[in-house]
With several copies, the nearest count.
Chain A
Amino acid sequence: MTIQLNGKGYEAPTGITVLGLLESIGLAPGRAAVEVNGRVLRREDFRRVSLAENDRVEVVHFVGGG
């Protein structure tokens, strides 16, 4: 299926969880925050929440800033 990940189309296995997505892009779950369709997820829900076709997913982390 195709989801919108950080503003771009991204191919992911159907039914993938948020945790699975983070793993597939090589990101430690403890260092990211995720928003699905405008709703911010609690970190403990990464394992539970599955993604669907066309979901808008934002994955953010901390970078240097002032």
Chain B
Amino acid sequence: MQNEHLTIAGRSYPSRLIVGTGKYPNFDVMRQAIEASGAALVTVAVRRVDLTKRGGESLLDYLDTHKVALLPNTAGCYNEEEAVRTARLAREAGLSDLIKLEVIGDEKTLFPDNEGLLKATRTLVKEGFIVLPYTNDDVVVSRRLRDAGAAAVMPLAAPIGSGLGLQNPANLRIILEEIRDIPVIVDAGVGTASDASIVMEMGADGVLMNTGIARARDPVRMARAMRLAVESGRLACEAGRVPRKLYASASSPIEGTLR
């Protein structure tokens, strides 16, 4: 395990934390939070230009694309066709092959439609995209995504924006044991710093989050917390934790006490 860099499809990013750009109080807070997070990859959504609002500020005015690479998503797509179409538009808008692929299967949970996701992954891989699919914690699906050419798999910790933290450690552990040749990036559901360290300690290669930072009371401070949490969790994973025991083990020597 190497600490600081996250390598996706041969490109190395100097942070294991990927952050979103949605739901901030304003663009300025977003800019500061992204800087505090240390993220080198930031997700963006693809949406129709609103013709009724001309000349307003644009997201890209607040992102220093020399420092952070854009990772467009296909959020809001409910089938293969929409997702593929959105990915193609994203490629032209950003001049990059990276795509965070979402094919949503349910409006209330925003859980993925894994069947559509697999099809879209196959199509986009053939077109040369670097596909990072958002999926749930199903090792069967993760393996198929990998076999379909995904550059990483991105299982959720909990529903998008729920802030629940990792709901099924057993399933994540199983995925981490099975998927060893491409990164496993936990995407969605992180609510606070320890939620991020927990998945990094288990061996995840990275964490992607948006709401947990953007909707915190103080997003910039939470971004710093998340940065440290991801680093901390990674270090702890590498350092090899002590085993768990039901009973105590003294830290101070037993010999030489006064009696």
Q: Do chains A and B touch in the complex (CB under 8 A)?
A: yes
Chain A contacts to B: CB under 8 angstroms: 5-8, 10, 25-27, 31-35, 38, 40-43, 58-66
Which listed residue, A5, A7, A8, A33, touches B93 by the CB 8 Å rule?
A: A33
Chain A nearest Cβ from B42, distance in angstroms: 10
Chain A nearest Cβ from B242, distance in angstroms: 13
Q: Given the complex, which residues of B lie within 8 Å of A10, measured CB to CB?
A: 51
Chain B contacts to A: CB under 8 angstroms: 20-24, 30, 43-49, 51, 54-55, 58-60, 70, 72-73, 75, 85, 88-95, 160-161, 208-211, 214, 250-253, 256, 258
Q: Once the chains bind, are B92 and A65 in contact (CB under 8 Å)? A: no
Top 7 nearest A-B pairs by Cβ distance? Answer: A66-B251, A65-B45, A66-B210, A66-B20, A65-B252, A33-B93, A33-B92
Q: Once the chains bind, are A62 and B54 in contact (CB under 8 Å)? A: no
Nearest residue (CB) in A for B258 is: A58
A42 to B95 Cα, complex, angstroms? 10
Q: Once the chains bind, are B49 and A65 in contact (CB under 8 Å)? A: no
Q: Given the complex, which residues of B lie within 8 Å of A63, measured CB to CB?
A: 21-22, 44-47, 59, 252-253, 256
A62 to B90 Cα, complex, angstroms? 8
| Given known contacts A25-B49, A26-B55, A31-B60, A66 and B23 CB-to-CB distance under 8 angstroms | yes
| Given known contacts A65-B21, A66-B21, A58 and B48 CB-to-CB distance under 8 angstroms | yes
A44 to B162 Cα, complex, angstroms? 41
Q: Once the chains bind, are B89 and A62 in contact (CB under 8 Å)? A: no
Q: Once the chains bind, are A43 and B44 in contact (CB under 8 Å)? A: no
A10 to B20 Cα, complex, angstroms? 33
| Given known contacts A26-B54, A63-B256, A33 and B43 CB-to-CB distance under 8 angstroms | no
Nearest residue (CB) in A for B93 is: A33
